[in-house]
Amino acid sequence: MSLILVLNCGSSSLKFALLEPSNPSTVLSGLAEKLFEDEPRLIVTDGEGKQAGPLPGQGHALAMRGILEALRSRGLLEQVSSVGHRVVHGGERFRQATRITPEVVAQIEACVPLAPLHNPANLEGIRGAMEAFPGLPHVAVFDTAFHQTMPPHAYRYALPEVLYREHGVRRYGFHGTSHQYVTRRAAELLGIPLEHSAFVSAHLGNGCSITAVKGGRSVDTSMGLTPLEGLVMGTRSGDVDPGIHAFLAENLGLSLREVTEVLNKGSGLLGLSGLSNDVRELERAAAEGHTGAGLALEVFCYRLAKYVAAMCVPLGRLDALIFTGGIGENSSLVREKVLGQLGILGFRLEPEQNARTVRGQAGPITAEGSPLALVVPTNEELMIAWETQALLA
């Protein structure tokens, strides 16, 4: 068996999955966490269940060593043929998955100003993994690459041209692997050729974004220069008036760093509700009469419904609206509220089908005669494994 190790590195944690690309279920997966705390640990999930153990020390390189040992002790190390790395920002340099060389590492580094929180962690992971697995090919799969097919009128902001030309200020878009995976799956489920398909894909997890995908190519998306633009998210504001920065600075005396912190970490569902960023908790609280929780869900769904309508513009025709991610796959309430506001496009929910569709299940949730809305579970790790395999083939 030829297995692909997929790595997703955050600043203090590292997720991994070991996959056989022709099979959607993972052979082994896990999480190395608390990488810079006193007791970093590795949690591994395999056929036998979950096992947690200490890592040999702090940092990404030692986490990678721990993963290597976890593979070796299960007799899987010899079967690993390549490593696929999730990299958040590839700027305009990367339009597709790319084999990692020292030059590619330098180019990912050059994208750090565009993703100062994510790319440095991704690079740590790449360095650690290249040290731990020196004999294997390593491939970078970029969150932004899928969106590089957007036309200029979708990716340019109405800002002075010099900001784009000299500083790369434009819409890049994120969650590319998820949007690519679910639209491929949807075309497969509907039996239509991908090159003739037209989908609006709503990835609703901790981060949320929506993409118009025509013929298998992204033509517009809600996230922008950074993953802050667009939909309401768990703790991120999504769209706000750009004048808000000056207002907060001048009237509340907030620094640029503090404004960024409020918009990224204290806003969204959490900020609106004053309670939680978790839709499960907000649904429970709203049912018990918590007004903040109720409002947070209303704003979330209304913004999403508006964006669904907007994303139909570049498509001309719609084969399906796709819901995915933790919220999209699980929250029948969110799906109901969103479709309830899209009567103008003819959407009508099929309530029982909607209530029955929970995590892991794919299927339609709309009534006969309505445009189609589908739930499609995402699998970003599998998409990264496919991209890695395709490139190396």
Token look-up 């010899």 returns: 78
Size of the site for ligand AMP (CB under 6 A): 11
Rounded to a whole number, what is the largest CA-CA distance in the chain?
A: 62
Residue 301 touches ligand AMP, criterion: CB under 6 A: no
Rounded-to-5 percentages of helix, strand, coil across the chain? 45, 20, 35
Q: Please say if 143 is a catalytic residue.
A: yes
* Interaction of residue 279 with ligand AMP, rule CB under 6 A: yes
Which member of 38, 46, 143, 319 is catalytic? 143
Work out whether strand 320-324 and strand 373-375 pair parallel, antiparallel, or are unpaired. parallel
Residues 38-57 that bind ligand AMP (CB under 6 A): none
Question: If we measure between CA atoms, which residue out of 2, 184, 23 comes closest to residue 83?
Answer: 2
Residue from 30, 84, 326, 371 in contact with ligand AMP (CB under 6 A): 326
5 binds ligand AMP (CB under 6 A): no
**Applying CB under 6 A, does 206 fall inside the site for ligand AMP?**
yes
234 is a site residue for ligand AMP (CB under 6 A): yes
Window of 25-33, 144-152, 237-245, 322-330 that interacts with ligand AMP by CB under 6 A: 322-330
Under the binding rule (CB under 6 A), the answer on residue 325 touching ligand AMP is yes
Under rule CB under 6 A, residue 13 binds ligand AMP:
no
Alpha-carbon distances of 126 from 13, 76, 105, 352, rounded to whole Å: 14, 20, 8, 46
Q: Under the criterion CB under 6 A, does residue 338 sit at the interface with ligand AMP? A: no
Give least dist CB 205 to ligand AMP, A. Answer: 3
Q: Does 238 bind ligand AMP (CB under 6 A)?
A: no
State which of residues 280, 284, 317, 356 lies at the interface with ligand AMP (CB under 6 A): 280
**Residue whose Cβ sits closest to ligand AMP:** 326
> How many residues comprise the chain?
393
Helix (H, G, I), strand (E, B) or coil at 3: strand
Stretch that binds ligand AMP, among 65-73, 138-146, 190-198, 323-331 (CB under 6 A): 323-331
Does 327 engage in binding with ligand AMP (CB under 6 A)? yes
Give the dihedral sign, CA 187/189/190/192. Answer: positive
**Where does residue 58 rank: exposed (0-12), middle (13-18), buried (19+ CB within 10 A)?**
middle
Q: Is 331 in the site for ligand AMP (CB under 6 A)?
A: yes
CA–CA distance, 137 with 268 (Å, rounded to integer)? 40
Work out whether 30 is an interface residue with ligand AMP (CB under 6 A): no
Amino acid in position 371:
P
Minimum CB separation from ligand AMP for residue 293, in Å?
Answer: 12
The window from 110-118, 220-228, 277-285, 363-371 that contacts ligand AMP (CB under 6 A) reads: 277-285
Cβ atoms 38, 12 nearer than 8 A: no
Query: Cβ 279 to ligand AMP, closest distance in Å?
Result: 4
Which member of 90, 128, 176, 205 binds ligand AMP (CB under 6 A)? Answer: 205
Where are the extended beta strands (E) located within the chain? Answer: 3-9, 14-19, 28-33, 41-46, 49-54, 80-87, 98-99, 138-142, 198-204, 208-214, 217-221, 320-324, 363-364, 373-375
Task: Return the active site residues.
Answer: 143
- Residue numbers of the site for ligand AMP (CB under 6 A)? 205-206, 234, 278-280, 325-327, 330-331
